Amino acid sequence: MREMHRKESCPQQRTRGSRRAQGADDIGDDAEEEGEEEISESTDDSSDPEYVPSKEQRRRKARKKRAPKNRLSVELAQYLGEAERFLNNDQFDEAEEICRTIIASAPNSSPPYVVLAEIYYRRGDHEKSTEYMFEAAQRNPGDTSLWLSLIDFAEEKNDLALAMHYTKLALRGDRQNSDIRRRLIQYYERVGQSRSALMLRLSALSVTPEPSGEKQFQLARTLADEFFKLMDRPSSIRAYESAFEKYPDSGTDADKNTTLSMMLQLRKYENALKFLLRYCNVSITTEAGKPLRWDRLAEQLKHPNKYTNLTFPETTPPELYMKLFLILIHLKLSAICIPFVRASLTEENAEKHFDWLLDIIKSFRTYGLHSAAGEMLLKLTILESAKQLPLVWTMLAEVQVELGQVEKAISSYRHVLDTLAPRHTEARVALGGLLKRVGRHEEALDLMAPSNVISGQSSSRSTKRPSEVPSPLSKSKNSNRPNKLRESQSGAMPFEPSDTSDQEHRDRDDDDDFAVEQAKRDAKWLKTSSAVSDASLLSNDPVAYRIAFERCKMLDHPDSTHQFMDEAWNVLFTDVARLCGPDWAELAVILDNSRLRARLMSRLGTNDNSCKLVTSRTHGLKERNVTTADIWSLYLRLIGMLMAEMPNTLAHLEAAAIWGGLLPAIYNDESRRAAASNLLISSCLVGHNGTPAYFKLREIYKKWSHQNQYWNLMNIAILLARDFRQCRLLDRFSEDCRYPLGIISNNDCIVRGSHRLAIARLIGLREQYPHDPLIALLLGVGFLGVSLHKHIASHHPPVLQGLGFLNEYRRLRGYCQEVYYNIARFCHQLMLCHIAIEYYEKVLKMEPVGDTEEEKALTDLRSEAAFNLALIYRSNGNRAMAHHLIQSYLVI
């Protein structure tokens, strides 16, 4: 059986007398020895004439060391031995009683808890045994055997989390124990916590280093690579630093280079300089020879101008001393490294370490040392390996601009565009801005023309000027209008079934005609769009697109408004117009087909004929370095200028609203897409082009169908489109919108002359909304229409029914101008002029509804009533009364 307790070694017991005698003798001997030492010291000190006694030299009495709190006294240790004897004789109750007595006297001692754990273990109560063993380990955390017993118990129960917990506590008590650390690392790897395991292995580099420097650095490189894969650069740096601290001479130049590179990536310049001073034999001193110490770096760097000398070994690799120069520049010690930087500008370094030289130049520019940066760049333009690089010349031009050498900067940019890289976007944009800044506007605009950078493959394409692109309203609005509906020839009485069945047959025929017409237009568009190659699109050439965009920004000035509108139109919509084809006035049909719309936007956004989702393909804008925010701002600027030129630009505003919703930069953003959709709806309704507005309103049906304003706009769009087949599509919508859909369908039926079907729909609505005055008014209008039919047995019943619903409408609506005007119009239509005159005069005498003058002006019907009343008087020969009404109510 496992031994779970150990006996504490106790000092041998002595008698009280012997302890006293020995103590007295010892004290006497010690006193004699101390007296002799004091005499000798006093004689030695008195011989020194400059001797001055101090308080610090006074001898203090040595204190006795305290015994640990968890250690038992001799009596209790002997008493615990009795408990162990009872335990060995299987007398568990007596042993437990003794242990609890000892715990009451010494609660911080661990041995009695160990004996209790053994007692419960032999009894078979393993849970209680583990608890007491844990209590013992907590009171003596340095005892590794107790923790190992607990870890074994946890493993026996397959409780890995508890075993990890015990192992962590054991390692906390003995951090030098490599076996426990290795065990904890295995646990972390078993549960998949690789990062925690790596952190333990990292701490082991400092606590328990490897026996040789080679093994230490090999392990450090492995750990650094693992941390680097986890994007944990600080831990990678710690791995190398731990290896250098233990074995500073074993690290290679590659290890130093890797460590410094990671420090520079994290911009830890002080730590990097400490590393160089400590491990790379770098020395920085003042004129007096006082060195810059790595352990006092933060304090000494407060006065960087004191240090004037820099030395490092001649065998230092170029990667290391270039990093040294970069660090010194960032720490404002650039004065001591500029001579070394000049000496490092060789052909070999420019060829192998060009990136580090550029970083040094950028650092010079960051801290305002433009002269030093310009000197380096001028030397690079002479070296064979760097003089053909456009980046060197563009940086040189930027530095020359900062130094005020404008003409030299222009010549540098010209060298890049004329000789090195004609399609260099940044150089062309920077040169255009510089020319504009010095007042050479025309030259800047000529430079920023997209035709200067279009490649040979796409140079032959013909991009239309905005003035050449026809406006959306230039064609007849009736070009895509469906065939007129056949009028009903039926003369049956209201609510006859044959009227409804004839209407259903006509609806079916119209739907079939519409589907055939839609398929023909889709095929025609696909044929036209496929004829346009992707290579000929402006968006396919990122350089030309960026130059065109920058040219638009340059033209955004009050003196060049119209030119800006032309250029912005080209940038935004030239590709859309070419892909939509010559019949782009029928674009509403494309808007109704989601498949064709996705295809169009896919080609605009990615220049690929595939029909994948546009939202997952946005690298086109990144390639041409024009963000979606830039496209959106240009679009808004163009829309603002078009609205400022209204009504002359209404056609172009409508086209911009339609095409803007097809641009991927706008369509992929929900807020921008909603703004473009609202603009499309409003512009199309203002331009009396209802079909595109109808399609857009149908897209946002689920979001806004609970608003009355939405249905008002939908009704206006259907009326403007003159395509009343769309009303039947609305019948397929949800039953939640039965009221507005019923009203719109009723209007459709009335316009088509199907008054019986309209009345049937309204009767169904009236059962659901019995107190709605609008339904009663529309029922009256429906019966009025029935009474005017040519083939009807009697006109009197529908007239009486219409008057009855008008009376109900007056009761529900109340007494106001609207009610009297509608009654007057009803009687006027029936040629009951004597009754209509009475109600028109009531309208003229009543005040309009509204709390303010603006509201009253919107609801005032007196001018309409006066006009209709004047028509009645004129038809009856009373021209004087008609003239009086016109002069009183209609002349402004």
Q: Is the pLDDT of residue 233 over 60?
A: yes
In this predicted structure, what is the pLDDT of residue 592? 53
Q: Read off the pLDDT of residues 255-266 as tens digits, 9 standing for 90 and up.
A: 999 999 999 999
Q: Say which residues have a Cβ less than 8 Å from residue 809's Cβ, sequence separation at least 6.
A: 773, 776, 777, 780, 819, 822
In this predicted structure, what is the pLDDT of residue 605? 60
Phi then psi for residue 311, to 5 deg, are -135, 145
Give the fold, CATH level 3, of 1-13+69-140. Answer: 1.25.40
Instruction: Decide which of 359 and 488 is more confident.
Output: 359
Mean of pLDDT values over 475-502: 34
Residue 376 to residues 354, 370, 419, 459: CA-CA distances in angstroms? Answer: 12, 10, 22, 39
Query: Residue 516 — pLDDT band, cuts 50, 70, 90?
Result: low
Tokens of 134: 């844990």
Query: Residue 489 — pLDDT band, cuts 50, 70, 90?
Result: very low
Mean of pLDDT values over 55-72: 54
Most confidently predicted of 84-98, 304-318, 463-477: 304-318
Most confidently predicted of 52-61, 326-335, 541-550: 326-335
What count of Cα atoms within 13 Å lies in the side-chain half-sphere of residue 446? 4
In this predicted structure, what is the pLDDT of residue 820? 93
In this predicted structure, what is the pLDDT of residue 595? 62
Q: Is the pLDDT of residue 836 over 50?
A: yes
Give the number of other CB atoms < 10 A from CB of residue 21.
11
Q: Read off the pLDDT of residues 621-642 as tens digits, 9 standing for 90 and up.
A: 445 678 888 889 999 999 988 8
d(CA 627, CA 672) in angstroms, rounded, equals 14
Q: Say which residues have a Cβ less than 8 Å from residue 630's Cβ, sequence separation at least 6.
A: 549
Give the number of other CB atoms < 10 A from CB of residue 285.
16
Mean of pLDDT values over 464-487: 35
Among 471, 644, 463, 651, residue whose Cα is nearest residue 570: 463
Phi then psi for residue 205, to 5 deg, are -60, -35
Mean of pLDDT values over 661-667: 81
Averaged pLDDT of the chain? 77
pTM over 0.85: no
Instruction: Decide which of 175 and 351 is more confident.
Output: 351
Query: Residue 590 — pLDDT band, cuts 50, 70, 90?
Result: low
Q: Are 620 and 605 in contact (CB under 8 A)?
A: yes
Bridge partners, residue 310, by sequence: 284
Instruction: Decide which of 728 and 80 is more confident.
Output: 80
Mean of pLDDT values over 361-389: 91
Mean of pLDDT values over 42-71: 49
What are the residue ranges spanned by the domains of the chain?
1-13+69-140, 193-251, 253-344, 350-447, 448-455+494-699, 731-811, 815-892
In this predicted structure, what is the pLDDT of residue 36? 43
Query: Residue 872 — pLDDT band, cuts 50, 70, 90?
Result: very high
Query: Residue 508 — pLDDT band, cuts 50, 70, 90?
Result: very low
Percent of the chain whose pLDDT exceeds 70: 75
Q: Are 876 and 833 in contact (CB under 8 A)?
A: yes
Mean of pLDDT values over 608-618: 37
Mean of pLDDT values over 761-769: 84
In this predicted structure, what is the pLDDT of residue 878? 92
Q: Is the pLDDT of residue 21 over 50?
A: no
Q: Read off the pLDDT of residues 272-285 as tens digits, 9 standing for 90 and up.
A: 999 999 999 999 99
Q: Are 399 and 406 in contact (CB under 8 A)?
A: no
Q: Is the pLDDT of residue 664 over 60?
A: yes
- Sign of the torsion formed by the C-alpha atoms of 31, 33, 37 and 43: positive
Most confidently predicted of 6-20, 426-440, 686-700: 426-440
In this predicted structure, what is the pLDDT of residue 600? 67
d(CA 653, CA 471) in angstroms, rounded, equals 9
Q: Is the pLDDT of residue 501 over 60?
A: no
Mean of pLDDT values over 564-577: 83
Instruction: Decide which of 43 and 260 is more confident.
Output: 260
Q: Say which residues have a Cβ less than 8 Å from residue 661's Cβ, sequence separation at least 6.
A: 591, 667, 673, 676, 677, 680, 696
Q: Say which residues have a Cβ less than 8 Å from residue 816's Cβ, sequence separation at least 6.
A: 846, 849
Mean pLDDT lowest for which of 191-195, 774-778, 844-848? 191-195
- The class (CATH top level) of 350-447 is mainly alpha
CATH architecture of the domain 731-811 equals: Alpha Horseshoe (1.25)
Mean pLDDT lowest for which of 134-148, 352-366, 493-507, 826-840? 493-507
Residue linked to tokens 């992929």: 668
Tokens of 337: 């490294």
Q: Is the pLDDT of residue 361 over 90?
A: yes
In this predicted structure, what is the pLDDT of residue 453? 77
Residue linked to tokens 């965009």: 549
d(CA 333, CA 306) in angstroms, rounded, equals 10
Q: Are 414 and 428 in contact (CB under 8 A)?
A: no
Q: Read off the pLDDT of residues 767-789 as tens digits, 9 standing for 90 and up.
A: 888 898 998 998 998 888 888 88
Q: Is the pLDDT of residue 613 over 50?
A: no
Mean of pLDDT values over 112-120: 86
Q: Is the pLDDT of residue 864 over 90?
A: yes
Q: Is the pLDDT of residue 457 over 60?
A: no
The reply to whether domains 1-13+69-140 and 350-447 share a CATH topology is yes
d(CA 77, CA 83) in angstroms, rounded, equals 10
Q: Is the pLDDT of residue 479 over 60?
A: no
H helical segments located in 192-249: 194-207, 213-229, 233-246
d(CA 584, CA 428) in angstroms, rounded, equals 35
In this predicted structure, what is the pLDDT of residue 327? 93
Mean pLDDT lowest for which of 77-91, 285-299, 521-535, 749-763? 521-535
Q: Are 765 and 785 in contact (CB under 8 A)?
A: no
In this predicted structure, what is the pLDDT of residue 604? 66
Query: Residue 156 — pLDDT band, cuts 50, 70, 90?
Result: confident
Query: Residue 360 — pLDDT band, cuts 50, 70, 90?
Result: very high
In this predicted structure, what is the pLDDT of residue 393? 93
H helical segments located in 646-772: 650-660, 664-667, 670-686, 690-699, 701-704, 708-721, 725-730, 738-751, 755-768
d(CA 53, CA 114) in angstroms, rounded, equals 55
Q: Is the pLDDT of residue 217 over 70?
A: yes
Q: Read off the pLDDT of residues 666-725 as tens digits, 9 standing for 90 and up.
A: 888 888 888 888 888 888 888 888 888 888 888 887 788 788 888 888 888 888 877 656
In this predicted structure, what is the pLDDT of residue 757? 79
Q: Are 224 and 240 in contact (CB under 8 A)?
A: yes
Count how many residues are written for the chain: 892
d(CA 849, CA 865) in angstroms, rounded, equals 15
Q: Is the pLDDT of residue 218 over 70?
A: yes
In this predicted structure, what is the pLDDT of residue 730? 64
CATH architecture of the domain 815-892 equals: Alpha Horseshoe (1.25)
